[in-house]
Structure 1
């Protein structure tokens, strides 16, 4: 709706294929919560987009993380530093309510949450 309204009100005046697509991954800090098989595959796929820094939070440090230049950090640091937070961990009793009001308050106001 936002794009439609903007186009009707003259906001779209020239060819801009990525207009209204949101912020870019280029130059961004991306945090991945859960760096198992799925988290690692997600990380591999976003790195070519020019990510400045890749952070992850998981139970153990992963050699695969080092190989791709990722850094294991505490959960709160990941929340505070990331421009994008991507959740790939399994839903378990341990991760239930991991992203509560307190967690969202630690994140940047402009962050993307996926």
Structure 2
């Protein structure tokens, strides 16, 4: 699989059965950014054929509700393909949004150990 992307806000690095994807966009606040990111993420999940997608959201300070909905759909698509989606490195404010929406009940969110 190639790692060249049309989306300038993603960096992709394959590692065996895992695909590490780093989002470099700090604020996902408009439809254009949501569309560019989600289109590429869905393509990566489809082409990955059962790979686990680890999405590093450490640089993201905030995102619009449409992007949150796309991540829920991406989770379902990855699961249906036999893979999975892991959200990692969420900023505390973004994690709070996911907790408030009770998305932490079914989304796999990696929380770093305290003090790391």
Q: What TM bracket, shorter-length normalisation? A: 0.3 to 0.5
Provide the TM-score with structure 1 as the length reference: 0.34
Structure with more helix by fraction: 2
Structure (1 or 2) with the larger CA radius of gyration: 1
- Give the TM-score taking structure 2 as reference length: 0.34
